[in-house]
Structure 1
Amino acid sequence: MLTLLSFPFLEAQEKDSLSFVKSKRMSEDDLIKKKEGRFFTGIPDFSSDPVTGFGFGVRSNIFWNGARTNPLFPYTPYLAKLKVNAAYYTSNARELVMSLDVPYYKGTRWRFKIDFKAQQNPTNLYFGLTETTLEPLRLPSTPSGGPTYNTYSEYDQARKTLRSGDVGEAPFVTDALSNRFRETEFMLNLKADYALGNGKWRIMGGYEIQNLRYKTFEGVEAEAIDPITKEKTTAPNGFSLLKRDFEQTNISGLNGGWISILQTALIYDTRDFEPDPTKGYYFEIANEYSSKYIGSQLEFNKLFLQGKGFWKLPFGKRTVVASRLGVGNIFGSNAPFFEFQDQWSPDGSINSLGGKQSLRGYRANRFLSRSLWFTNIELRYRFLETKLGKQRFAFGLAPFFDAGTVRDRWQDLNFKNIKFSYGAGLRIAWNQSTILSFDYGKSKEDSLFYFGIGQAF
C-alpha cells in the first residue's frame, strides 16, 4: 500500500510530460484550497424505517492527495481514495461497502477501482416492470380499473387498511409489505481504465461477480389500519406483487443466484474536478454483459449512454450550472427483474427511475421498464467558505429540476408521459473531495428528503 500511494514516477512519464492529464487541471481557486497529504472524513449514519427499524453506522473516506510538488497534484481529485461505509439495523439488516479508487496509478495512464459490498436490505420497492408503472398508483390487490391514488401517502394508507384474505391468505390481511422485498447481496467488482491521447478519452474494462438472494413477505406480521375505527394494529401481510409476477412468468430472477458480468465503456471526460466540477463535460457509452458462457446463472445485456455538462457562471464566487441526460436499454427477453432497477455507469451506478439519483420526489424504482431516459439540471451556488481548525468547509445551495420516463421498447422512447420533480438542496464540501448532499424533492405523488455523500451527478 505504501508503495502504491507514494506514486514514484516512471521514465516514460517524463517523455509524456503528463500530457494525458493537462485537460483535467483544476481551477486556480480550487487548487489553492486543495489539502496536501493524507486525511480522513467521516460522519455518523442514523436512519429509521418501519421495515428495517432503527439503523446506525458510519460513512468514511480516507484520501491521499500527495504533496503540492507532485506533478499530478493540480490534475487529480486525489492520488487514492478508500471509502468504507458500514450500517446495522434493529431488524438485522446490515451493509458493508468498501471501495478503493486509484487514478493515474504511479503516474501512468491507468486507473484502477476495486469495490466490495455485502448487504441485506428489506426495504426495496417493486411497483412492476413495464411502462404501466407510469399509471397512477393502484393497490396490487385491485384489478385494473380499480381506484387509484394521487399521492403516495393516500396509497400507503390504503395498502395498510385491513381487507379480507384471498385463497391462501389469512382471514384478514394487510398489504403494507405487498410491494416490498428483501435483497441479500455479496459483490466484488474490479475495473481498470486507460487514458488515450491527451487524456480526454478513456477505455474501461471490468469484471463483477455477485451472489444474490431474495425474499418476499407473505404472512409476515406488518402494520395495519382497522377500516372502521381507523386505529393502527398489526396483521399478516397478504400476497407479494413481486412473487405474483414471478409465478405468472412476467419476470425472472426471483431465485437469485450467481451473476457474472463483463463491463466495458468508452468515456470522454474534461471535468476539472470530479467530485465537484466547475467546468467540463463527461460522456460515456457503458455496457454490461452477463451470460452462461462466463459463468452466470442469468443472461442479459445492458447498454447505457450518459452525458453531463458543467458551466461556471460569471456571478458569485462559485456558481455552476450542472446538467445530465441518460438513456438506457436492457436486451435479453429473460433479463432478471433486479437489473431493471439501476443503470450501470463507471462514474457510479444510478437507481432508475425514481429516488435520489434520478427523479428526486418519487420513491426509488417507482417507474421501471426495459428502456428509459431521464435528465437533471441543478444550479449550484456557493455562499460561504470557512475553516475549522485544519478542516475546510464550503456551503452551497442547489435548486434542481428532474424529468424522465420509461418504455417497454427503446423504439418507443419519446417525450410523452414524462414524470417531473423539483426541489432544492444544501451542499457541504468538506476538504473539497467529500460532498455532503441534503436534497428535498417534490413531485405530484410525494415530498421526500434525501441525504448522502457525493453529488447526485
Structure 2
Amino acid sequence: MLCFFGLLGGFTPPTLAQKTDTLVIDSLSFIRSKRMSEVDLAKKREGRFTTGLPDLSSDPVTGFGIGIRTNTYWNGTRANPLFAYTPYLVRLRANASYYTTNARELTFSVDVPYYKGSRWRFRVDFKAQQNPSNLYFGSSQSTLGPLRLPSDPNKTFATYAAYDRARSTLRPGQAGEAPFVSDALSNRFRETEFMLNLKADYALGKGKWRVMGGYEIQSLAYKTFQGTETDAIDPVSGAETKAPNGTSLLARDAQQGLIFGLDGGRVSIVQGALIYDTRNFEPDPTRGIYIEVANEFSHRAIGSQFNFDKLFLQGRIYHQLPVGSRTVLAGRIGAGTIFGRQAPFFEYQDQWSPDGSINALGGRQSLRGYRANRFLARSLAFTNVELRVRLADLKVGRQNFGLGVAPFFDAGTVRDRWQDLDFSNIKTSYGAGARVAWNLSTILFFDYGLSKEDRLFYFGIGQIF
C-alpha cells in the first residue's frame, strides 16, 4: 500500500481535500451527472472517518463467519468542489474473516476516484484466501438438470436437503475406493489463492464513459477430499458414523478430460473494460445507469500457465420511485462466456467486473435461492431485480443509519455455447432482505432466498449490485 501511495506522487490522504481546492478541475463538467441527492448530501460526513465493525456473516456454503471489516474514508470538506460528486476522495479497506468451515480470507484495497480532481481513478487490491468448502456440481449445461449423486447419476433429488442426506449415506465402494464410503465431500474442493490486482481508468468526455485497464496475477492451488474421513449415515440404522470419502466429482471429471486446471498454478491476466456510468452514489445509488463490457485475457506469452479469454457484459439501472423517503427500483442483467479449449474450470466460477467480480451461477451474488456454483458452464446469463425501500433514518451521535427492506427476484441459466443462450430452462429464485446503511457508504444486508431446491439465508456487507 505504501508503494501505491508513493506511485501517486507522495499522496497523503488527509491533505488531499485542501490541495484539490486549488486545482483546475475541468469545471467539473465531466462528473456533474453524478451529483448526490440533496437528502444524501446532507448526511455525508466531512473529513476522515473509519467504519470498523465485527464481520459477522453467514453463507450456506462457507458457514458462519467472524472477523473484522474496516473502511477508512477521506471525504474532504463541503467546500471541496468534489464533495457532492464523489462517494469519497480515498477509501482504504482492510478485511479479515474466518468461517466455521475453516475458510479464511485477508483482503486489502485502496480506491482513489477522480485522483486530485483529474479524470483518473486508481485501484489496488490484494487477497489471500483459503476455502475448503467450494462446491462443484459439474461444468456443463447438464447441471441445469436435477441434483444427482456422483456415484449413481440415475438417482435424482428434488431438494438439496434430500440430496445432502443421500450423499452422506454409506455405500459400497467402487474401483479404487474403500469397502464402504460416504460421498459427503465428493462435490467439495479446497482452493488456496493469492491475488494482486492493479487497475486504472480514465473518464471520457463528460465523464459518463470510462476506459479501464488492469493487470492481475494469481497463484492458485486445489485439493479434493477422496479418502478423507468424513461424516456418514448408516443406511440400515440411520445412525451417524464416520467413513472415508469416495471419489471426488471434480477429480473424476479431470481424469475424464472434462475439466482442466485441477493442479492449479500461476494465472497472469490483462484486463480491459469500457464503462458507461451515471450512478449518483456508487455504494448505494438512487438513480443512474451502469453498463460495462469487460474482458480478461490470459496467455503463456504474458507469464500465465493457462490460455483463455473471458468476456462479460452487464447492465444495471436504478430509479427512485415517488414513494416514501427513498424507494429505489434496482435491476441488473448480465451475460458472459469464456473462450479457450482448455480454459481452467475455476474461471467458469466467476465473471470479472471492474465494479466487483460476480460468483455464478448460484449463491448470494446471482441466484440467492440456490447454492454457489449450482449451475456451471462456459456461458451464462442472469438477471436480478430489487425494490429497496427505506423505512427509517436514525442518527446516533455522529453516526447515520438508514433502515430498509428489499424484496428481490433472481433468474438465470447456463449453456455450453454462448450461441445457445435463450429463454428456455431458466432457473428462478426470490425472497426478501433487510438493509442497514451506515454513514451512506457501508451497507449491511440480510437476505433470505427461496427456490424449488432450497431455502438459504445470507448476511454480510455490501449491495449485491
Normalised by the size of structure 2, how large is the TM-score? 0.95
Alignment partner, residue 177 of structure 1:
185
- Which runs of structure 2 are paired with 1:290-305 in the superposition (5 Å)? 290-305=298-313
User: Could you tell me how far apart the structure 2 residues matched to 1:369 and 1:426 are?
Assistant: 32
User: Could you tell me how far apart the structure 2 residues matched to 1:43 and 1:12 are?
Assistant: 35
Alignment partner, residue 323 of structure 1:
331
Shift of 1:13: 2.6
- Which runs of structure 2 are paired with 1:370-409 in the superposition (5 Å)? 370-409=378-417
* 8 Å Cα contact 2:103/2:133 also seen in 1: no
Alignment partner, residue 198 of structure 2:
190
Report the AA paired with residue 218 of structure 1: Q
User: Could you tell me how far apart the structure 2 residues matched to 1:52 and 1:280 are?
Assistant: 33
Shift of 1:49: 8.7
Alignment partner, residue 39 of structure 1:
49
User: Could you tell me how far apart the structure 1 residues matched to 2:205 and 2:302 are?
Assistant: 32
Alignment partner, residue 429 of structure 1:
437
Alignment partner, residue 210 of structure 1:
218
Match of 1:128 among 138, 162, 182: 138
Shift of 1:56: 2.8
Moved more, 47-56 or 161-170: 47-56
Report the AA paired with residue 232 of structure 1: E
Report the AA paired with residue 77 of structure 1: P
Alignment partner, residue 65 of structure 1:
75
Number of matched pairs: 454
User: Could you tell me how far apart the structure 1 residues matched to 2:185 and 2:133 are?
Assistant: 9
| Corresponding residue SS for 2:295 | strand
Identity %: 69
Report the AA paired with residue 30 of structure 1: D
Alignment partner, residue 95 of structure 1:
105
Alignment partner, residue 117 of structure 2:
107
| Corresponding residue SS for 2:332 | strand
Gap runs ≥5 in structure 2: none
Alignment partner, residue 156 of structure 1:
164
Shift of 1:282: 0.3
Alignment partner, residue 268 of structure 2:
260
Shift of 1:89: 4.8
* 8 Å Cα contact 2:60/2:458 also seen in 1: no
User: Could you tell me how far apart the structure 1 residues matched to 2:308 and 2:232 are?
Assistant: 39
Shift of 1:390: 1.1
* 8 Å Cα contact 2:60/2:456 also seen in 1: no
Judged with a 3 Å threshold, the aligned counterparts in structure 2 of structure 1 residues 26 and 388 are, in CA distance, closer, same or farther, namely same
Alignment partner, residue 419 of structure 1:
427
Gap runs ≥5 in structure 1: none
* 8 Å Cα contact 1:222/1:236 also seen in 2: yes
User: Could you tell me how far apart the structure 1 residues matched to 2:369 and 2:349 are?
Assistant: 17
Q: Are 1:142 and 2:152 counterparts?
A: yes
Shift of 1:42: 2.2
Alignment partner, residue 339 of structure 1:
347
Per-residue CA shift, 1:85-144, capped at 9, x if unaligned?
Answer: 11235765421011111100111100011000001100100000000000000001113x
Per-residue CA shift, 1:315-367, capped at 9, x if unaligned?
Answer: 10000000000010101111000000000000100000000000011000000
After superposition, the CA RMSD in angstroms is 1.6
User: Could you tell me how far apart the structure 1 residues matched to 2:430 and 2:53 are?
Assistant: 27
Judged with a 3 Å threshold, the aligned counterparts in structure 2 of structure 1 residues 90 and 32 are, in CA distance, closer, same or farther, namely closer
Report the AA paired with residue 427 of structure 2: K
* 8 Å Cα contact 1:438/1:452 also seen in 2: yes
User: Could you tell me how far apart the structure 2 residues matched to 1:428 and 1:47 are?
Assistant: 14
User: Could you tell me how far apart the structure 2 residues matched to 1:257 and 1:316 are?
Assistant: 52
Match of 1:86 among 96, 117, 121: 96
Per-residue CA shift, 1:210-230, capped at 9, x if unaligned?
Answer: 000000001111111111111
User: Could you tell me how far apart the structure 2 residues matched to 1:133 and 1:121 are?
Assistant: 22
Shift of 1:441: 0.3
Q: Are 1:9 and 2:20 counterparts?
A: yes
